Amino acid sequence: MLELSSKTNLLKEDDYRYSLQEVEEANLFRDLFDYDQVPKVSFNHRLVPMSMPEEIWITDTTFRDGQQSVNPYTPEQIENIFRLISKLGGPYGIIRQTEFFIYSKKDREAIERCRDLGFKFPEITTWIRASREDFRMVKDLGIRETGILVSCSDYHIFKKLKMTRAQAMEHYLATVKDAFEAGVMPRCHLEDITRADFYGFVVPFVNELMKLSQQAGIPLRIRACDTMGYGVAYPGAALPRSVPGIIYGLQHYSDVKSEHLEWHGHNDFYKAVSNASAAWLYGASGVNCSLLGIGERTGNVPLEAMVFEYASLRGSLDGMDPTAITEIAEYFSEEIGYKIPPMTPFVGRYFNVTRAGIHADGLLKDEEIYNIFNTEKLLNRPALVAVSKTSGLAGIAYWINQNYQLKGENQVGKRDALVAALKAWVDEQYEQGRTASLSTEELEAKIEELKNERS
């Protein structure tokens, strides 16, 4: 049967319905995932269309996946971070939701504190083990949506759960029914989807979920979880690793709407951000992230990265306040004691610090030459130069102007006598064997000394 697609405004065939493929042995995709070799990417050159949804947004898992890999945050810390997430996400809720545990007294205290702030966004959701009692607890807390784990690869079904595919599906569907009975919207976390049999398990399973949702009259959300970071965004790459293939497939074969589809990735192969962007591009409205990418192993999709991806793709921050990213980084460094690697984009100490003398010269002439955008305006982080053995006169002059916030006529140039004297001293430090950059305190002390000598 033909029907007109609301997405493309073209006629499309009513699609084939995949049914569950039961297997005797787990399909571990050994051709791709030989444990003794680097995982492989295969291509079948099936190109799926890009289909950016009308609305896209970010969801947060700082207090759940993020917290599973660090020391637990106190309720007060959670409240403070929640405030910053809300500030960053802006009034229109581009950071739409954040998920919490609910089991301990501290978890529930954290939820209460955040709820008492009365913010519209982010919405508080939960993540639970998924027993009937847990759903009731969620409902009693007045929470609308909760995540539940529905691992979908044979790695998990056979090796962890020790079930067959049919048993796993039955178990998951029963759990989802409990959610609907409690009046709670389930968010089904399809764990390890990039190693799952997409047409043999994932699609048939999601089809059953959609049927249950229709019967219950309550929507459900699908979170496609690239648990081990195997996803790739290459056009024409084959399933199960293809991010476009997964997103397109869930929409096309399981009728999951964009607004009910989100992506959750990890950075094991440095692909977390590009995969999340691909998920948006190919039809998922939500990408699930954590602040600073803190999470299991190599971490989650860094939320701050997706703020800038959003603005790049949509042409507007849509109310987001990226200066909150700097506040978040400072809070994690100073309050929580988390060491941010210095070269981390947007938040690292050196992310916009130029060291090479020739680059500093360019920066002095026009900041735009070697700074990615107006980092002072967007992140409250003016472009800086580090003074080191490769710094030339221009770099030192730039450092003085930035450090003392000298503007216009008050600025020093590279031919200034003070700059030359400071440069001579810097060179001497490195000739004597120094290797590290000079600190702000050292430079300020030397400048004071030189000024006194001159006066």
Partner 1 sequence: MRDHKTVSIADQIFEQLEHEILTGKYARGELLTEMKLSAELGVSRTPIREAIRRLEQEHIVAETGRGIVVVGITKEDVLDMYDIRINLEGLAAERAAKNISEEQLVEMGEVLALQKFYIDKPDNDNSSKIKNLDSQFHTLLYISSKSPAIGNVLQQVHRKITKYRRASVRKHSRAVQSHEEHMAIYAALEAHDSDRARALATEHAKNAKKSIMGMEI
Which chain residues interact with partner 1 by CB under 8 A? 54-55, 90-93, 144-145, 183, 185, 217-219, 259, 285, 314-319
DSSP 3-state assignment of 58? Answer: strand
The smaller minimum CB distance to partner 1, of residues 183 and 341, is found at 183
Q: How many other CB atoms sit within 10 Å of the CB of residue 365?
A: 12
Peptide bond into 244 cis (omega under 30): no
* Least distance from partner 1 to the Cβ atom of residue 146, Å: 12
The smaller minimum CB distance to partner 1, of residues 142 and 408, is found at 142
Distance in angstroms (rounded) separating the CA atoms of residues 261 and 72: 29
* Least distance from partner 1 to the Cβ atom of residue 319, Å: 5
The smaller minimum CB distance to partner 1, of residues 54 and 334, is found at 54
* Least distance from partner 1 to the Cβ atom of residue 303, Å: 19
Ramachandran sector of residue 337 (left: φ over 0; alpha: ψ -120 to 50; beta: rest) = left
* Least distance from partner 1 to the Cβ atom of residue 55, Å: 5
Secondary structure element (H or E) that encloses residue 426, with its range = helix 417-431
* Least distance from partner 1 to the Cβ atom of residue 150, Å: 19
Ramachandran sector of residue 222 (left: φ over 0; alpha: ψ -120 to 50; beta: rest) = beta
* Least distance from partner 1 to the Cβ atom of residue 91, Å: 8
Q: How many CA within 13 A on the CB side of residue 188?
A: 33
Residue 237 one-letter amino acid: A
* Least distance from partner 1 to the Cβ atom of residue 173, Å: 20
70-79 burial by CB neighbour count: b if 16+ within 10 A, else e? eeebebebbb
CA distances from 296 to 65, 127, 293, 392 (A): 7, 16, 9, 42
Secondary structure element (H or E) that encloses residue 309, with its range = helix 303-314
The smaller minimum CB distance to partner 1, of residues 219 and 236, is found at 219
The smaller minimum CB distance to partner 1, of residues 185 and 325, is found at 185
DSSP 3-state assignment of 381? Answer: coil
The smaller minimum CB distance to partner 1, of residues 46 and 144, is found at 144
Q: Could you tell me if 98 and 67 are in contact, meaning their C-beta atoms sit under 8 angstroms apart?
A: no
The smaller minimum CB distance to partner 1, of residues 259 and 335, is found at 259
DSSP 3-state assignment of 341? Answer: coil
* Least distance from partner 1 to the Cβ atom of residue 82, Å: 19
The smaller minimum CB distance to partner 1, of residues 319 and 341, is found at 319
